[in-house]
Structure formats: C-alpha cells, structure tokens
Amino acid sequence: MKIIHTIQELRELLHIWRAERDTIGFVPTMGFLHDGHGALMKAARQDNDRVVLSVFVNPTQFGENEDLEAYPRDLKGDAKLASSCGVDVIFAPTPEEMYQNPKAFVDIVDLSNTLCGVTRPIHFKGVCTVVTKLFNIVQPTRAYFGEKDAQQLAIIRKMVRDLNVPITIVGVPIVREADGLARSSRNTYLSAEERQAATILYKSIQVGKERIKMGMPASELVSVMKSVIQDEPLARIDYISVVDAETMQIVELIDRPVLVAMAVYIGETRLIDNFSYTIGR
C-alpha cells in the first residue's frame, strides 16, 4: 500500500490503473479511522479492482469555535487499518495542496438547511466542495459513505445527480459498539462517565423504532424520543427531527419514507445518530 501526498503523483498512478481498465472504489475520510470506516473500505474492496482512501481534515467544513485543531489525527494508525482492509493507496494531502486559493464552492442549498445545517451553516458547503474536488482528482467508479452521516449522504447523492457526476454513490450501514453507540472518531473525546452516558442516543432510537410503528404525528415521536434523552443529565439535545428521506425537509406526518435524525451533546462532544423508516417495512 502506498501513501501519496500530492495530486500529481496520485493522478499518475490512477492513469496507469485506468489504462488497465480497473474499477476504482473511493472512500473519503478525515482520518482517525475506526471499524465504521473499516466497513466502508471493505465494501470498496469487495466491489472494485482498486481502492483509494483519502485522509484529509478539511478546514472549510469547520465553523468558528469548532474542533479543527483538536480533531484527532493518526496517519500511522490509519495506514495500519487501511492496509488490513485491502486499500491500495492512501491520499493524504495538506490543506495547501487541496486549496491554493479557495474562491469556488459547491453548495446544495435545500438539503443543507435542516438538521445539522441549522447549527453548522457552512458545514455542508465545505463538505460538498471538498468531495467535488476529491471526485475530480480520483474520478472513481464508486464512492462509499456511511449512513451514520445520513444528511451528508443524501446531499452527496443529490450533488452527483444534479451535477451529472459519473460516479455511483454507495451507502454503508452504521457500525455500532456492543452497547449500541455508533462508531465515531469523536467518541475518543468522551470521558468514561460520558461514554456511558452516550448510550442514551441508541436507547432513544430503540424507543423511536418501536413507537413509529404505532402510527403517530412526527411531533409526537420527537417528544417521546426527547423524553428519553432528557433522562440523562450529561446529555443536551441539539435537535431530534423527522425529515423526508430524500429532500431532508421536516415532515408533520409519517406518510412517506423518513429519516429520524438527532444530534446530542454529551458534555462538550456533539454526537449524531439516526434511523430510517418506511411504512410497511
């Protein structure tokens, strides 16, 4: 497995692969990899001749007072896990390599103004911009994203459709710890007490999955799930929302495929989780 830091060197390698008509799977990440990323890499390995992993902490998706400098980094550890998952090359550029003079942005407006987009208004513009740049650099056959970041996945899918990008987007199910907590690089921020408290997100989701089957207005479902979270003293709710699974817009009635998504602070650490629901399934 190679680790490449420049766009030119990566393009030279990709040119060879394309000449051999290899299919290319691409997994974009911000590094500090865990088993959730491992599931993405393994899916890419299964589906493609070659696998490219990017490790890049993208500055344009962090707002003021967010954790850009504190975001965990461990390229050596990332390389070890990536190699075990069959990755062929890691692309690990510097911010200067990716952004010479950042004046152009990609913004999928309607899907970005709910859920995480409310409290992180520049986040998805930064995500869409860097993903577009990475897609232009790698030009993969397929790209893999985790369903934990469900709004991001929906936005990327719409971006690819709207901009006619010839890439298949593959969503990979959430990977959870034994107690249900969704795997996340930010879990490392949690103290032992906070780590235990964080299981309240999954408990709320379990209650939500049961209650949604009974048929109820979205607002009632949200109230039920909030009451579960509020029983945990260390938890502070950013949002719990029921949105249309495709448009990410808030719904009042659960009469179509929906995403039930949440962001909750455990201490100072913001965690996200979700589940999807379709009537009759």
Element (H, E) at 265: strand 258-266
> Residue 65 above 80 pLDDT?
no
- Tokens standing for residue 252: 């009042």
CB 61 within 8 A of CB 130: yes
Residue pLDDT, tens place only, 3-14: 999 999 999 999
Place 31 in a pLDDT band, splitting at 50, 70 and 90.
very high
In this prediction the pTM is: 0.95
Residues 6+ apart with CB under 8 A from 28: 54, 56, 130, 131, 134, 143, 145
3-state class (DSSP) for residue 144: strand
* Sign, CA torsion 43/48/51/53: negative
**How confident is residue 52, by pLDDT bands cut at 50, 70 and 90?**
very high
* Whole-angstrom distance, CA of residue 250 vs CA of residue 254: 10
Is the model's pLDDT at 280 over the cut of 80? Answer: no
Residue 5 token pair: 């830091």
pLDDT value at 66 more than 90: no
Q: How far is CA 18 from the centre of its chain?
A: 28
Q: What integer pLDDT is reported at residue 90 of this predicted model?
A: 98
- Which of 32-36, 100-104, 222-226, 242-246 is predicted least confidently? 100-104
Whether 110 has a pLDDT exceeding 90, the answer reads no
Tokens (6 digits) for 4: 């490449």
pLDDT band at 202 (very low <50, low <70, confident <90, very high): very high
Residue 37 appears among annotated catalytic residues? yes
Catalytic pick among 5, 15, 37, 123: 37
Query: In the chain, what percentage of residues exceed pLDDT 90?
Result: 88
Least confident piece of the model among 45-54, 65-74, 84-93, 230-239 = 65-74
CA geometry: angle at 93 spanning 92 and 97, to 5°?
170
What tokens appear for 51 in the block? 């696998």
The residue written with tokens 């513009």 in the block is: 125
Please list, in sequence order, all residues whose beta carbon lies within 8 angstroms of the beta carbon of residue 59, skipping any fewer than 6 positions away.
68, 95, 99, 126
